[in-house]
Chain A
Amino acid sequence: MIEAIQLTVNGDTREVGVPSHYTLLETLRYVLGLTGPKQGCDKGDCGACTVLLDGVPTLSCILPLQEAIGHEVTTIEGLADRDAPHPLQDAFDITGGAQCGFCTPGVLLSAAALLTRSENPTREEIRNALSGNLCRCTGYTKIYEAVELAAAALREERASQEEAP
């Protein structure tokens, strides 16, 4: 059965027709064409499907669509709000935080949520924040470096904004 629902994704509120049993991940990937969130296990184990729900990292592969209604969904496609990539995206590129890249969208969104609540996170805080996102390529080291680099870039950005008249 197809249901018409209203969904807010990456700032756009849209009316979409979705099979009633779809999860949020299926809706994002198959209905809205947002393929940034990945399916690695379909059981909520790997974290590749992570999106932000009102800013909170959420496993979209086990989230019934109904529970996303009325909330702001952010996928990796909606992380950058300007012409340029988000400082986290740039930092991952600089440090080599992405190898195969399959876990990267989920890792980045978990990291983005961390950086909104902690502007200078310790290594331990980063490890905790990313513990729900399995990465099989990097051994995590270059991911930590990326998050630290992005945190520094964001702090600098904020400082220069405060200085500006």
Chain B
Amino acid sequence: MKLEDFRAKQAESAASEEELHEALEREFHVIGRRLRRTDGLAKSTGAAVYTDDIALPGMLHGKILRSPHPHAKIVSIDVSAALALKGVHAVITGSDMPETFGIIPWARDEYPLCLDKVRYVGDGVAAVAAVDEETACEALDCIEVEYEVLPHFLDPEEALAHPETPIHDPKKPGQNGNISKQVRLEFSYVDALMEQSDAVVEGEYYFEGTNHTAIEPHCAIGYFAPAGKLTVWSTTQVPHYLHRELARVLDLDVARVRVIQPPIGGAFGGKSEPFDLEFCVAKLAMITGRPVKILYTREEVFYAHRGRHPMLMRYKTGAVSDGRIKAVDAKTILDGGGYESFGLVTTYYSGQLITAPYTMESYRFDSTRVYTNKPCCGPKRGHGSVQPRFAIEVQLDKIAERLDIDPIELRRRNILEPGARTINEFRVNSNGFLQCLDAVEDAADWRAKYRKLPYGRGVGVAGSCYISGTNYPIYPNEMPQSAVQLQVDRSGRVAIFCGASEIGQGSDSMLAYIVSEELGVPLDYVRILSADTDLTPVDLGAYSSRVTFMCGNACIDAAQKIRQQVQQAVAEEWLCRPKHVKLAGGWAFNALDTEAKVPISEAFNMAEAKYGALGATGSYNTPKDIHGSYRGGTIGSSPAYSFTAHVAEVDVDSETGFVEVQRIWIAHDCGRALNPILVEGQMEGSAYMGFAEAIMEEHIFKETGLHNAPSLLDYKIPTSLDTPEMHSLIVESIDPEGPYGAKEAGEGPLHPSIPAIANAIYDAVGVRIDRLPFSPPRVWKAIQQRAEVD
């Protein structure tokens, strides 16, 4: 096609004169509009290619042999019979990769395959590669492993009491080997201020563990090219960290490892660190010279886990008679399972992330993460803070009751002012929490319902805040947290290269909207290549709700560099000022005279003629002076915080204890909604996931260490019939540092679901259920006990 034809084609999709005038009047012409995703049709037509959809020529199938014991020494492994099996190409054990890995550099405690000890039922001990899945399974049956069984602990308090049987070697001599991490921090004088309180409420709360349960199971493919280069396709949210860990564990040059992350079928934190299968496919590919794929079964997903930590939380909260919080004292035990994962961070988060949206005059937390012989816990949507949020928000409800203050009013009286620092010294910039409270109060018709509905029906409120990315990367370095590279084609097409992980949240689309906004190209002229470590600049990954804030800012940085060149080149041609050259709707036009316009591709050509090939990189790094001045004060600090309030309305059947959540009103301050459809999708998905944890999910184990329900039939997650009606209310506080003012929306809106439902149950039937989930037997029993007391 000739250049002119390209231009003509593009002009067809450009905006009309009328639309251009409109674009001039609006602050944004793309941002804030209810647009389609860039990958929506690929997904709804089945064209999107996920990891397990990839089949390479000559590909072998791998399987991992897993421990049947929760805690045992490996005495010997005999793989000879498996190797002798027809169709088996390789068998590996722990000694083939005798190097630990882990997401936190100073807490690496897992081997790709166990070396000398297993720590939970499901720990991997050997892996095979065979011509097909059946042969691989048969080979696993032929591997002989001799174990020396050790005492095992499923309960963290029991594990703490038995340091003589350490699940891991103690971190320091003399320490209890069953302690993974302990953090104690106190801000101001808790004991003294507790004494000055008019109302003191104490409570013990238990949050049951839950699994992410993405519908796509983990999958990885390894391919080792004859020239000595390893490629791993994986369902990972953190391609950059996986890249580093693969090179380190397999002792390969980083330059000879490539990680590609195809579209992911859900993650929610469950794919945010390296897993055994990635190392195994890589090693098996290196040994066999053939591509090797491993796909977890659903059962393996439950055992690989890294889900929400069970937490036992003892809270004491004091307030004065007008409702202001004087003191919060928290003691928390986290059940970590067999390994470290993000445990160090989870332990801090369990205390550090609850100091907003409320001011508190003093605060102390004491959190201990304990190893147990169960699948390892890790980060799940709302990492580390969903559990304590349940405790603190129910505590507030109890205080409001005690002081006879409306619980929404009580929250208003304690609100952290915009621009204030939290008691643990975090800077909080934009803060729309007050508007969130107002929004749910109005939408839910709160005043007409609270304490006024008939017995069995009730409403409850809760609030929360969450980080928009962590201020510091997982491995200390001074480099940007995120980078984007743009390349402009002569046809008017713009290609975006970015390491960001599209996990369903819409990060690819977000980048496309920004480029379309800044460079005036129609959305279908934007191409996105993301999360391929050979081709894309580093982004640290899809965790801690950092992508929109950080990649978005990096993308604006890159796009504005190109925009300035284009404006300059066109201005020289038109003899006008560069600032009057506007790029929007597929055109470059003169803001003072919209008759003067050229297709955007022509404008790009002018700039290319003047400057040479058009391209730019952009990056983002966090401000470094916004955290606490104490040890651990960086953990939990973020460039911006989102805020949420929920009102839940429930029906409780007092005969059966069955809680039916009818509606949840979700107000979320996301800074600016770059695309309200995607923001609402995150709000509804989050509220759904919190509701699920409140009402039905239980990641629990039998005495033997076996999972109680490792299937999607027995591990209950809500169907369309279970899920409540949800109403999304977007609040836009416009953050001074976010991209166009945006903050996160992916994790924050989950937090208030659980306490709002708990508080609504109390409003409905007058019982406090301080233990998750709010299942019919538990609720029924509480109602019975209350009846007996009455």
Contact = CB atoms under 8 A, between A and B. Distances in A.
Nearest to B675: A96
Contacts of A30: 55
Contact of A103 (B36, B53, B215, B217): B215
Contact of A98 (B40, B213, B686, B726): B40
Contacts of A98: 37, 40, 43-44
Interface in B242-264: 263-264
Contacts of B506: 99
A137 B684 CA distance: 8
Cβ-closest 10 pairs across A and B: A36-B46, A102-B265, A100-B504, A101-B43, A139-B688, A76-B46, A93-B40, A45-B712, A35-B53, A139-B684
B46 A102 contact: no
A20 to B, nearest CB: 12
B253 to A, nearest CB: 33
Given A88-B44, A104-B44, A137-B685, 17 more contacts: A21-B134, A29-B53, A35-B50, A36-B45, A39-B217, A40-B265, A93-B36, A96-B678, A98-B37, A100-B504, A101-B43, A102-B216, A134-B717, A135-B215, A137-B504, A140-B723, A142-B684
B477 interface: no
B45 A40 contact: no
Nearest to A80: B45
Contact of A104 (B43, B49, B723): B43
Interface string A29-68: 1100111111111110110100000000000000000000
B227 interface: no
Nearest to A97: B44
A97 B331 CA distance: 41
Contacts of B720: 126-128, 130-131, 133, 135, 140, 143-144
Contact of A100 (B134, B266, B297, B680): B266
A16 interface: no
A128 B266 CA distance: 24
B677 A38 contact: no
A153 to B, nearest CB: 14
Assign chain A's interface to a size class: 35 or more
Interface in A116-131: 126-128, 130-131
Interface string B680-695: 1100111111000000
10 contacts: A35-B49, A80-B45, A92-B44, A96-B678, A99-B505, A101-B42, A127-B721, A131-B721, A137-B504, A142-B681
Given A35-B49, A134-B717, A140-B723, A99 B685 contact: yes
B215 A136 contact: yes
User: Is chain A's interface secondary structure helix, strand, loop, or mixed overall?
Assistant: loop
Interface string B640-673: 0000000000000000000000000000000000
A95 B677 contact: yes
A57 to B, nearest CB: 14
A39 B52 contact: yes
Contacts of A141: 680, 684, 725-726
Which of A41, A75, A95, A143 lies at the interface centre, i.e. has the most chain B CB atoms within 10 A of its CB? A41
Given A43-B711, A76-B46, A101-B43, A96 B681 contact: yes
Given A136-B213, A136-B215, A139-B685, A45 B44 contact: no
A17 interface: no
A102 B688 contact: no
Contacts of A76: 45-46
Nearest to A106: B215
Contacts of A113: none
Given A96-B40, A102-B266, A140 B215 contact: no
B719 A134 contact: yes
B240 to A, nearest CB: 20
B39 to A, nearest CB: 7
A100 B216 contact: yes
A42 B265 contact: no
Contacts of B265: 38, 40, 100-103
A88 to B, nearest CB: 8
Given A98-B40, A139-B723, A38 B50 contact: yes
A40 B298 contact: yes
B3 interface: no
A5 interface: no
A41 B295 CA distance: 11
A89 interface: yes
A85 interface: yes
B734 interface: no
A5 to B, nearest CB: 19
Interface in B329-347: none
Interface residues of B, number: 57
A157 interface: no
Nearest to B666: A139
Contacts of A133: 720
B272 to A, nearest CB: 15
A96 B43 CA distance: 11
Contacts of B212: 136
Nearest to B728: A141
A93 B680 contact: no
Nearest to A91: B44
A135 B685 CA distance: 9
B369 to A, nearest CB: 27
B542 to A, nearest CB: 11
Given A96-B680, A131-B720, A134-B712, A102 B215 contact: yes
B214 interface: yes
A48 B726 CA distance: 24
B685 A138 contact: yes
B780 interface: no
Interface in A141-159: 141-144
Nearest to A146: B44
Given A95-B677, A102-B266, A130-B720, A139 B43 contact: no
A79 B44 CA distance: 10
B787 interface: no
A108 interface: yes
Contacts of A142: 677, 680-681, 684
Nearest to A99: B504
A137 B266 CA distance: 7
Contacts of B726: 139, 141
Contacts of A75: 46
A41 B711 contact: yes
Contacts of B46: 34-37, 75-77, 105
B215 A134 contact: yes
B712 A138 contact: no
Given A38-B50, A99-B681, A108 B215 contact: no
A35 B45 CA distance: 11
B297 A40 contact: no
Contacts of B717: 134, 136
A4 interface: no
Nearest to A123: B725
A43 to B, nearest CB: 6
Which of A46, A79, A90, A99 lies at the interface centre, i.e. has the most chain B CB atoms within 10 A of its CB? A99
A40 B216 CA distance: 5
A37 B46 CA distance: 8
A101 B504 contact: yes
A95 to B, nearest CB: 7
A141 to B, nearest CB: 5
A42 to B, nearest CB: 7
A18 to B, nearest CB: 13
B215 A93 contact: no
B503 interface: yes
B716 to A, nearest CB: 11
A80 B678 CA distance: 25
Contacts of B43: 92, 98, 100-101, 104
B419 to A, nearest CB: 33
A94 interface: yes
A151 B596 CA distance: 44
Which of B49, B681, B720 lies at the interface centre, i.e. has the most chain A CB atoms within 10 A of its CB? B720
A48 B215 contact: yes
